[in-house]
Amino acid sequence: MASRLMFARRLMMSVPGVACARFAWSEEEPYQHKITGVDIVRIHHLSELGFASKRVSNRRSFGYAKFIGANECVLGDIVLREAAEPTTLKAYMRAGPRATLHFDPSETRVAIVTCGGLCPGMNSIIKNLVTTLKGHYGVSKIYGIRGGYRGFTSVGWDAPLLLTEETVDAAHRQGGTILGTSRGGFDAEKIVEWLRAKRVDQLYVIGGDGTHRGAYKLSELCIEKGLNIAVAGIPKTIDNDIGVIDRSFGFMTAVSEAVRAISAARVEAECNAPNGVGVVKLMGRNAGFLAAYATLASQDVDLCLVPEVPIDLVGPGGVLNHIERVIDAKGHAVVVVAEGAGEELLGVSAVTDAGGNRQLPPVGEWLCDKIKDHFKHEGKEATLKYIDPSYMVRSVPADASDSYLCMTLAHASAHGAMAGYTGFTVGLVNNRTVMVPIPELAKASPRAMAAHGRTWERVVSITGQPASQNSLAKPLPGTTKI
């Protein structure tokens, strides 16, 4: 028996290029995983596109233990599932310093822009980009573009900032972005013309999946116009709904801030009689990751509503009866609702903002009204306390964990662009920093929780809420279920 267990734990290598992993979970015969190869998702390199490279040796003033080789990669999926057919594994190029630089740092000009909504850690990203590009590589000039994509082209906006290590020294201690931000205002032709006129060699774009789609258009237009410019992205979203990567910077900081709001709602619900109900609305347009993670972290929530799971409002398995049962049992209840939940009941708005995001119905206020109406119908009184900390959770500085993540992402982006890669973004995949082609990330975004996935299963087990009878509904348009 012991020998069988030892055998089951071994990874056996057979013919070249084919790995056969044998696992025996019981007395049954072991099965095989046949891996036919690893497919590395490649990034465009400017020299391969015909642009002249300076081929400068990367100085090792900070004593890097090693440079990253062109074929080093990180597997995209480290979980092997039983499969009848041989499998080719997808992998992403490992991020990090390269031995040879495409650009001569002493001649290199850089632009940095932040777009879309605020997120904890944006200033940490800016600071670490500047300190890496200036302090390590010694680039000649860094422009900080004011107010998002609009800052390249709009008359009347403040002129770009000239960023130095001194100007960003304390930026990481502040929430928001020292450059300012906005939605919309994207004009690829005018932006590329600005880059050409200022002789910019590298553009760093910090933003969500929509911003990244714009960044890729810029990289393609630069190539089309024969401009030797590297375009690199760093993904940002408070909703954690960007695909491919493990998580977005700032997300865990937002979870911590959301837990504070939930704690306040619990205190209000406990202390206000009769039948106190605390309702907290959190961000989450297409995905309920923030609401779900805050629910799991707080351990104080009795009902969590997210966009991925349609709401059963009434009936024995409805959420209103669940709230009533919770109050009957302990005298109060705490509810968390994501801003995008309940559209199947409230309707989908055709109105969009400058970034193309549809206007969301006021689900928090609507839910409070429904709870009041339900208790009134039952001849009971309910004391509602509604908390909307949406902008509070995203406007704070990054916590320690996110600050570290921001540093690694900024370093990875700078190393990739200096080496000559373009049209890429960076992120954690299986807790390793990688470079991802922007189209790959955009195609997988926005992502959403699976209604029968582990995260949601944990939420339901914590809250005790009934499983939605509509949870087999199709995901929201444009989302990828995980």
Instruction: Compute CA distances 418 → 232, 239, 394, 407, 410, whole Å.
Output: 10, 30, 31, 17, 12
Which residue, 36, 52, 171, is CA-closest to 112?
171
Active-site position among 239, 241, 302, 312: 239
How far apart are alpha carbons 187 and 201 in whole angstroms?
19
How far apart are alpha carbons 22 and 32 in whole angstroms?
5
Q: What is the DSSP letter of 399?
A: -
Which residue, 57, 55, 54, 91, is CA-closest to 71?
91
Angle at CA of residue 448, ends 444 and 449, nearest 5°: 130
* E strand intervals along 24-144: 31-41, 44-45, 56-57, 73-75, 87-94, 100-101, 109-114, 141-144
Q: Where are the alpha helices (DSSP H) in 341-387?
A: 343-346, 363-377
How far apart are alpha carbons 37 and 280 in whole angstroms?
48
Sign of CA dihedral 194, 198, 199, 205: negative
Type of residue found at 364: G
Report the DSSP beta bridge partners of residue 44: 422
Residue 376: count other Cβ atoms within 10 Å of its Cβ.
11
Q: Locate tokens 């398995």: which residue?
A: 317
201 is catalytic: no
Q: Where are the alpha helices (DSSP H) in 378-399?
A: 390-394
Instruction: Compute CA distances 346 → 153, 286, 350, 357, 367, whole Å.
Output: 38, 15, 13, 17, 10
H/E element, 422: strand 421-422
Q: Where are the alpha helices (DSSP H) in 299-362?
A: 319-330, 343-346
How far apart are alpha carbons 238 and 241 in whole angstroms?
8
What are the catalytic residues?
Answer: 239
